[in-house]
A and B are shown apart, each in its own frame.
Chain A
Amino acid sequence: MAEKPRLKLPSEAKKGDVIQIKTLIPHIMESGQRKDKEGKVIPRKIINTFVCEFNGKPVFTANLEPAIAANPYIQFSAKVDESGTFKFSWKDDDGTVTTAESKITVA
């Protein structure tokens, strides 16, 4: 089971501001290239998609490959014109989706 993701973004902003959002989710990001002691390939298990939405509208999406380091850290920007909620989701190769939310008040 995936651990809780970490978010860093402001809770207040001025209308039209471009804010910076930092996210990190603890995850092994097993590349599918490594072998175990018996020489068998360890199956791939990574976060393959990260999505950020604001009030239901897409802001940023990242399709990730095994070349992304363990505990994927993703930093990006968002332009805020109204108060609302950011929704974040991380999709695992096994189908599990981890979500998180953060509210922002725009003056």
Chain B
Amino acid sequence: MRQLTRRQAVVLGASGVVVALAGWNGEVLADTKAAAEEIAKFTGGKTAEKGKIAIELPEIAENGNTVPLSITVDAPMTAEDHVSEVLVLADGNPRPGVARLQFTPLSGKAEAAVRIRLATTQNIIVVAKTSKGALFTEQKLVKVTIGGCGG
């Protein structure tokens, strides 16, 4: 085999990095697309307005197996005007769905907390639908040290 010159070796190394990066990006994009599809199904294709939702999450989750997540939607919760449904997605998990929460005026407050699994550092996306048909969305990045979907 022909021996590599120093220059060729450098070029080869760099192209390897580029290929690896491209592969990684492709994967992330695919997951985001799945999340976008879920959102479109939930909103019926309408655009959700940003705001009204507070997402509480640790900035860095050391263990992705159980990450505390708390969601509060600012809404009057009367019979005429209340948050009826909330969609929770994690765009970097093998499947983006986390939960769908349904509220009624008897809920008093549109707030809920659960513990979730996160495979990797990613965005938590929350979309809320009110009884009047208004849509709100918010998202928050969470860094994950050890993924929680291992097997």
What residues make up the interface of A, taking CB atoms closer than 8 Å to B? 18-19, 31, 33-35, 42, 54, 57-70, 72-79
Contacts and interface: CB of A to CB of B under 8 A. Distances in A.
- Interface footprint category on B: 20 to 34
B140 interface: no
14 contacts: A18-B109, A31-B117, A57-B104, A57-B106, A63-B100, A67-B95, A68-B114, A68-B115, A69-B66, A69-B117, A75-B113, A76-B112, A79-B77, A79-B109
Contacts of A65: 95, 97-99
A73 to B, nearest CB: 5
A14 to B, nearest CB: 13
Contacts of A66: 95, 117
Given A65-B98, A69-B67, A78-B106, A60 B112 contact: yes
Interface of B: 65-67, 70, 77, 90, 93-95, 97-109, 111-118, 148-151
